[in-house]
Amino acid sequence: MQIEPFQHEFERVQTDLAAGPILPSVTVEEIRGYLTDRYQFQKELPLDEVVQDAERMLRTWQVQVTHPRYLGLFNPAVTLPSVIAETLVAMYNSQLANWRTSPAGNEIERHTLGWLAARFGLPAESIATFTSGGSEANLSAVQVALSHVFPEYGERGLRGLPAAPCLYLTDEAHHGFNKIAHTTGLGRRAVRTVETDRRLKLDVDSLRRRVRRDRADGWAPFLVVGSAGTTATGVIDPLPDIAQFCREEGLWFHADAAWGGAAVLSPALKGHLAGVEHADSITCDAHKWFSVPMGCGMFFCRHRESVARAFHADVTYVSGAQSGPVFNPLTHSAQWSRRFIGLRLFLALANLGESGYAAMIEHQTRLGDALRRALAASGWQITNETPLPLVCFTRERLDPAAFLVALHRRQIAWMSEARVNGVPVVRACVTNFRTTETDIHEIVEGMNQLWQEGAGCA
């Protein structure tokens, strides 16, 4: 594949995006009317024409999450190597369900995940797979933990267990766990919300009390989620204390590092993830802070046998899926047919190198600090505490929702609303390695101006 034409197109898109609006103004009627009028698929259209049209729709009808002033929900700008990887994978249409069909793809994934597992401090015998995202990885963690803690779960199901299993997390943890409790049959009531301290970190004393009470009430506690970078506020739970507690109590410790996990590549930041190396399983999304395209999560687990037990399948018709020294994803993960998910991370790591990645992550962290300082200097109150580039803020008499409407209408930046201790605030997260210090200062100036004009004043 020739890189040059690709690079040229990639740069054109970046330049166009940065000069254009961050969010669209379009109605559902407009889009549906356009598609209905134009696309009944009754006659052939020239490829060039439909590609141009699709790109025009993408450019005008979506929030541009790769815009340098999108300070949003962990959706990253993407690197050239990761985009090239996507095209390569599609062209060769690699099938990674079993090793034999794609030794190349499978070994590249194994190599990449093994390298990253070592960065997390997991032992060499741990196992890892790429997933569709953090949600599939968190779901895998719950399924594997159930199979590990309750060996009869796989054959007899939850109703075969003598007591109802329950799991522990804080209100700040990812809300996908409610959905996971529902779909696994645990039931949403099996999710126990543990109190947080003043800084929104999981309170281990509260956890201990809750586990004790549940056991006394006949429940079977089995898993604790520690977040390494919560979605709303970027808080890192006390991972070493959670690990210690789980060890004492025989509970599975799952570290949800969907966004924050990338910090292990930064010498300056990795200390904040201390304790993650004790986790039984880890979720980390490459499609967040590793800046690769959507659909690239990762699930790491130190208990290889439990993963094999949770996802075992009888696959007599898939050649070589049963035995041998190699690893078949279809008997070790939720997916069956499997896309070559990991090439985008492999190519990006190979091209940028570990220090290139660290520089990218630290750049965004510095911008987070710059944003915090600039906001504080002009009278905004910072309401969250994290070393990661995620800033929650407000000011007296601010109505965050109304302020965000004005901010978005003026196309100053894209930010979201979050709650800190029940209070609505504005949430800004640096997710783009192309965002500059100038962007940050102009955004804060723009917000100050808006506030002076009375926007979002309750």
Ligand X SMILES: *Cc1c(COP(=O)(O)O)cnc(C)c1O
- Applying CB under 6 A, the residues found at the interface with ligand X are 74, 133-135, 138, 174, 176, 227, 231, 256, 258-259, 285, 297
CB of 44 to ligand X, least distance (A): 37
Q: Which is nearer to ligand X, 109 or 256 (CB)?
A: 256
Q: How far apart are CA 28 and CA 35, in angstroms?
A: 11
Q: Are 33 and 63 contacting, i.e. CB atoms less than 8 angstroms apart? A: no
Alpha-carbon radius of gyration of the chain: 23
CA atoms within 13 A on the CB side of 330: 23
Q: Which is nearer to ligand X, 208 or 419 (CB)?
A: 419
CB of 230 to ligand X, least distance (A): 6
Q: How far apart are CA 21 and CA 408, in angstroms?
A: 10
Q: Which is nearer to ligand X, 102 or 196 (CB)?
A: 196
CB of 225 to ligand X, least distance (A): 9
- In the chain the first and final C-alpha atoms are separated, in Å, by 56
Q: Which is nearer to ligand X, 135 or 331 (CB)?
A: 135
CA 25 to mean position of chain CA atoms: 27
Enumerate residues 6+ apart whose C-beta is below 8 A from 47. Answer: none
CB of 254 to ligand X, least distance (A): 11
Enumerate residues 6+ apart whose C-beta is below 8 A from 379. Answer: 395
CB of 177 to ligand X, least distance (A): 8
* Sequence letter at residue 271: G
Q: Which is nearer to ligand X, 345 or 450 (CB)?
A: 345
Q: Which residue is nearest to ligand X (CB)?
A: 134
Q: Which residues pair with 419 in a beta bridge?
A: 424
**At which residue do the structure tokens 């929030």 appear?**
63
Q: How far apart are CA 428 and CA 261, in angstroms?
A: 19
Q: How far apart are CA 294 and CA 190, in angstroms?
A: 30
Q: Which is nearer to ligand X, 134 or 221 (CB)?
A: 134
CB of 60 to ligand X, least distance (A): 25
Q: Which is nearer to ligand X, 133 or 400 (CB)?
A: 133
Phi, psi of 425 (to 5 degrees): -140, 170
CB of 431 to ligand X, least distance (A): 11
Q: How far apart are CA 34 and CA 297, in angstroms?
A: 34
Q: CA 91, 132, 252: angle at the middle one, nearest 5?
A: 145
Q: Which is nearer to ligand X, 299 or 346 (CB)?
A: 299
Q: Which is nearer to ligand X, 361 or 444 (CB)?
A: 361
CB of 411 to ligand X, least distance (A): 25
Burial of residue 453, with CB atoms counted within 10 A of its CB: 0-12 exposed, 13-18 middle, 19 or more buried? exposed
* Sequence letter at residue 324: G
CB of 295 to ligand X, least distance (A): 9
The arrangement of strands across the sheet holding 381-382 comes to 381-382, 390-394, 423-429, 416-420
